[in-house]
Structure 1
């Protein structure tokens, strides 16, 4: 059961925005998303929160500046997703521009798992680093940091994940979510934390006169990377993150981007001159993530740090091949999962925990997300890990903070979960295989206690009806140019239409011709093989359909029901 619910529009905010000269439709959309003043729409760099507001950046800058002056060797330990890859690329490009001797490593998802583990430190030790820097990981690496310190390495953690009860004893921690940090943007991605650290380091080097005889590096040139990692990690697009994403998109649209980013646009068949957050989340990001899921994220990082356009294109082609392979594996896993769920009564369960012996560790998160979307239940998919262990990846629904739910599980059953971590909407965990049935019972009990019955009903929040005058190419393109994403969702409208024609495309997509007030519109609902009644109430997005060089308005249906 899906419920269409129009958003509330605070009239005072709407009036303030329209009086401030904001387009009437945009003012309505912004007001419904919590914007109260025109100031909150300022996406210029001068509106960015200052680096010294983020706890640890000043200390990290001093440590890294000392290391650069001493000619010390640095090693960045990255994560194997898009956020980790872009954070690593920001660090490599910035530190090398500052004159640092810096290298990087990224753990293999299958053999080493997530984060700075003691085995990962042993691998890093072969490079004989003086300074070890983590990006998009480290806040939970208590043992890993201890191992690095035992090797005599200075340690700097840059991360954004929620900390556990015990913090690692690193020399410096930069994480907006660490205790005592008052940084207003708790939604900063891992790449954002690294970018802020590099901003602080540049300021420190400037004070020391490092740029007296050479050009000061322009870190704004890295904002395409920051935007990509921020969108791909699905963090909340608060004001500060919208600035980072907007600035990155502006650079992409102007043709100023890393060769690797340009190659990814080309291989995905997308036009960077019309770059959008959608491109980063659904075209570029998945191709980078495919390396971490099926191969080695070093491939993705190399794509982002090379200045050779030909090499970037060769790597992008390999990333595209891996992404196609990932999609094939995912389709098979999803089919198996859906077969398992044919007799599943969603009405009697609050959670789903699935396991198949032949599932691929690198793809279980995507499968969990697909099942969650289909059944609107917090879902965890498991695959076999080290001997006797299962690796799980979970996706949640609004109303349930998944990491906190797993924390409750560990408090009730301390021996049930070997390790876990993550965010509100996504988390990873490891359990022993013989504990799977027990985990399902306890997880279901915890989720049931934390969710209200209404939370288990899928709800589509809409922006109400769209006036006929706004059903135009001009408005569709206007909306495409805005920054939408997690916590700042793209506009969805709803209205009643007459179904004039309908047919199936490729036996899986429903193509319709709809009419309203005498005007006809093309519409499509992907992955919907059922037909539509004569009159429907539809929730839809306004989009631009490009076909044979001709542009037209198309309604992308999210859901419809009999009117």
Structure 2
């Protein structure tokens, strides 16, 4: 048995609907299964999803306040008022700023932009920068990707005499800022049909309204910000990303060219994963470590050399960021391991002096991945006596709402259900931690602390082809609320399997189902090669990809998780070197047993764990799931008792024997007859003295003569006097099998044949039959 690392939540789509989609939409069955599992119920609904058009874009004037915004901006341009676009330092904020800057510049506006410095200004509106803008003659501020929680700062700007338009998408608080206009798709009174725009999506709506037509040339920026900010990739966000990626693949943007260059990406291959894992981190890195304005400059410049210079700087910042993240993650993990008891619902709140606040969100994500608990990571500023940090959550713990319950001790915070940022007095950190731990115990169950993997559809091996995998691109882009599909393949057999990699920590295998086969690879899952016994039915969860090598394409399963529901038999018979099989056994889950004292003595210096004599173990109550049977029992019934003692999920059979009886065999009746005739002729025989000569004469082993002599003695055919075999005068005819030593050897040979020398399949069958008896209720066993 192999336990899966996560809870598998498998969607099993309706077969009739799948077939309908497959035939009507003319798509491979794999695609049809994914669509049905994602909730599509009609052909029309699926067609609309697969064939996006501009009709998917909602009118920007459905956003409350958009009419007023357009009027106010046009008035500012006509009156030559100076406008400031006030952004944010992450990829969403940088692209939002660029979208609005490009739009206003194209309209002839007198416009500048400012991005807060994470370390000086913190998140959101900054009184320092607003004061600076006022002194530079700014009369209208337009925030992008922030502002909804900047109550005090926006009041400050208004008091200076500047007008403020807030465009944001973050969770609003109970009180809204006193801005002149607020553009937000998710406000309580909003009539906008899609509340899940990223900040750049809201900025794009503003651009659309100001220009009077869809600014297609800005969709690459919208795609980058939308993907990087992890908002829902449904509705019009899906269109933005799909069209934006299409645009990037045929780009004339020097910024996209430069980012592709430093990321090692071929432009025609750009997809949502490229943006999320290659472009996004580099754009984010500059704002995490300092001034984010180079990110905006990258997208505003038309100079190819300048763009590449900025992109190289972003790339170096990203490397620096990665090193900082590793250092802080290692330190945070050490603190957690020393100070936390992670044995139930809890929230990790960990902090330290001088931790870089710009990367704490990434660290929090890594801690959630490692411990699967909500995590808040704080950097302590002892001089200012404040703690500033980021939070990441798990399903069931709404991070923003749970932090909001503590607004009396956490005065500054903002975010979403799954992520948040905050600043609080250093003296409140312990109280904050204690409160959150209590809140976690109220809203999280033990089951919710086991990570879940949602599986779109179980597949048959024969359904996985290069064509079906390539067709899945029709469903892209994948992201939040429309994640890349995860598949499972149930109850397959392993045709071949081996460890790969310099550290042998990866596994490569061929799996089969009926007449179909499929390559599979598990990175970091090398242990599976030691944990899957032959002829075992295994289920896998993972991604299906195309492996291309030397121009040849083959489908391949990338293993994420695996499980085996049946018990397993591991054959370690004949492997005399204990160090070849012992490292593959989980000692903490395993009991080692022997039937003979001599075996325990033999293994005492080879195995550190206690080796139990089975007769002694029978008197104990153990909780181990695995058992290693080190030697052969003298009787088959003892092995049956091992199976009765516990329902083992893994049985390792070593069956060590110092000497094998099987190959010696039993002497034939002709051999016994010849030897008895030999003794009859001599009446007495000095066996010990002459057995060597007798063995040499007959070609039979000395052990054979010793054994036959013992059988004759037990049957009273001979007696021993003065070390001599003496023939008895009166002999009662008795079958050889009546002799105890003959019986014992016959039993031992049969036992070795069944257990020690039987092929694996026969041995497994022997155990299967006896385990099956153990699982039958007692009242039914009399009928077997």
Q: Take 1:319 and 1:390, find their aligned partners in 2: how far apart are those partners?
A: 27
| Deviation for aligned residue 1:262 | 2.3
The yes-or-no answer on 1:388 pairing with 2:385 is: yes
- Is 1:160 aligned to residue 160 of structure 2? no
Distance 1:543 1:116, change over 3 A: same
Task: Answer yes or no: is the 8 Å Cα contact 1:86–1:226 preserved in 2.
Answer: yes
Ranges in structure 2 where 5+ consecutive residues have no aligned partner: 566-784
The Cα RMSD (Å) is: 2.3
User: Greater shift after overlay, 122-131 or 364-373?
Assistant: 122-131
Offset of residue 35 of structure 1: 3.2
CA distance, structure 2, for counterparts of residue 463 and residue 391 of structure 1? 39
> Is residue 2:220 matched to residue 1:219?
no
CA contact (8 A) 2:346 2:436 kept: no
Report Cα offsets for 1:7-54 as digits up to 9, x if no partner.
Answer: 253678657744651623223212222334132444211221111112
Q: CA separation of 1:218/1:179 partners in 2, compared to 1, >3 Å: closer, same or farther?
A: closer
- The residue number in structure 1 matching 2:100 is 91
**Alignment counterpart, residue 457 of structure 1, candidates 450, 458, 462:** 450
Of the three residues 58, 61, 66, the one matched with 1:52 is 61
The answer to which of 484-493 and 21-30 deviates more is 21-30
The separation in 1 between residues aligned to 2:14 and 2:131, in whole angstroms, is: 56
> 2 CA distance for matches of 1:504 and 1:125?
63
Of the candidates 238, 242, 257, which is equivalent to residue 242 of structure 1?
238
Query: Partners in 2 of 1:550 and 1:15 — Cα distance?
Result: 30
In the TM superposition, what whole-angstrom CA distance separates every residue of 1:83-123 from its partner, at most 9, and x where no partner exists?
00110111111111121121111011011101112222123
Q: What residue is the counterpart of 1:369 in the other structure?
A: 365
- CA shift, 1:173, in A, is 0.7
How far is the alpha carbon of 1:310 from its aligned partner? 1.7
In 1, distance between residues paired with 2:344 and 2:373? 11
1:206 aligned partner: none
1:439 partnered with 2:432: yes
Aligned equivalent of 2:326: 331
**Alpha-carbon shift at residue 129 of structure 1 (Å):** 1.0
Cα deviation for residue 155 of structure 1 reads: 1.1
Distance 1:397 1:12, change over 3 A: farther
Question: Aligned equivalents of 1:508 and 1:310: distance in 2?
Answer: 44
1:145 Cα deviation (Å)?
1.2
Deviation string for 1:240-279 (max 9, x for gaps)? 21111111111122x1353212221222112231221111
Distance 1:514 1:345, change over 3 A: farther
Equivalent residue number for residue 494 of structure 1: 488
- Report what 2:564 is aligned to: 562
| Residue 348 of structure 1, aligned match among 344, 347, 370 | 344
* Partner residue of 1:313 out of 299, 308, 316: 308
1:404 is matched with: 401
Task: Look up the match of 1:175.
Answer: 184
TM-score by length of 1: 0.91
Please give the TM-score of this superposition, normalised by the length of structure 2: 0.66
Rounded Cα–Cα distance in structure 1 between residues aligned with 2:370 and 2:511: 28
Distance 1:508 1:479, change over 3 A: farther
Give the secondary-structure state (helix, strand or coil) at the position aligned to 1:452.
coil
Instruction: Tell me by how many angstroms 1:218 deviates.
Output: 6.5
Tell me if the contact between 1:276 and 1:480 (Cα under 8 Å) persists in the aligned partners.
no
1:67–1:541 CA distance, 2 compared to 1 (3 A): same
Q: Give the direction of change, closer, same or farther, for the CA distance of 1:316–1:25 in structure 2 (3 Å limit).
A: same
Q: Tell me if the contact between 2:143 and 2:166 (Cα under 8 Å) persists in the aligned partners.
A: yes
Secondary structure of the structure 2 residue equivalent to 1:503: strand
CA distance in 2, matches of 1:500, 1:394: 44
Distance 1:163 1:273, change over 3 A: same
Contact 2:259–2:279 under 8 Å retained in 1: yes
User: Radius of gyration: which is bigger?
Assistant: 2
1:107 corresponding residue in structure 2: 116
Give the alignment partner of residue 138 of structure 1, picking from 147, 152, 156: 147
Q: Which residue of 1 aligns with 2:517?
A: 519
Pick the aligned partner of 1:31 from 22, 33, 36: 36
**Map of 2:287 onto structure 1:** 292
| 2:387 partner SS | strand
Work out the CA distance in 2 between the residues paired with 1:20 and 1:65. 50
Residues in 2 aligned to 1:135 and 1:552: alpha-carbon distance in whole angstroms: 46
In 1, are the aligned partners of 2:345 and 2:446 still within 8 Å (CA)? Answer: no
Contact 1:509–1:529, Cα closer than 8 Å, also in 2: yes
1:484 aligns with 2:478: yes
Q: Deviations over 1:306-364 (max 9, x none)?
A: 11122111111111111111111111222222223336443323321111224211111
1:390 shift after superposition: 0.6
Corresponding residue for 2:13?
9
Measure, in 2, the Cα distance between the counterparts of 1:396 and 1:135.
Answer: 25
Question: Which residue in 2 is equivalent to 1:360?
Answer: 356
Which residue of structure 1 aligns with residue 297 of structure 2? 302
Q: Distance in 2 between matches of 1:237 and 1:12?
A: 28
Partner of 1:420: 413
Tell me the distance in 1 between the aligned counterparts of 2:279 and 2:299.
12
On the 8 A contact 2:400/2:416 being kept in 1, the answer is yes
1: CA distance between counterparts of 2:473 and 2:379?
A: 38
Shift of 1:537: 2.5
Q: Is the 8 A contact 2:62 2:191 kept in 1?
A: yes
Shift of 1:483: 1.1
Q: Distance in 2 between matches of 1:157 and 1:22?
A: 46
1:252 pairs, out of 239, 248, 251, with: 248
| Secondary structure of the structure 2 residue equivalent to 1:323 | helix
Closer/same/farther in 2, CA of residues 557 and 337 from structure 1, 3 Å limit: farther
Mapped contact 1:507–1:529 kept (Cα < 8 A): no
Q: Which moved more, 1:476-485 or 1:292-301?
A: 476-485
CA distance in 2: counterparts of 1:133 and 1:149, whole angstroms: 13
Match of 2:641 in 1: none
- The change in CA–CA distance for 1:450 and 1:184 in structure 2 (over 3 A counts) is farther
**Are 1:201 and 2:201 counterparts?**
no
CA shift for structure 1 position 291: 0.6
Other structure's SS at 1:521 match: strand
Which residue of 1 is the match for residue 465 of structure 2? 472
- 1:140 CA displacement: 0.7
Give the whole-Å Cα distance in 2 for the aligned partners of 1:42 and 1:49: 16
Question: 3-state SS of the aligned residue for 1:292?
Answer: helix
Indicate the SS of the match to 1:417: coil
Within 5 Å, give how 1:522-533 maps onto structure 2. 522-526=520-524, 530-532=527-529, 533=531
Shift of the 350–7 alpha-carbon distance from structure 1 to 2, 3 Å rule, reads farther
Change (3 A) 1:142 1:20: farther
Q: Is the 8 A contact 1:408 1:446 kept in 2?
A: no
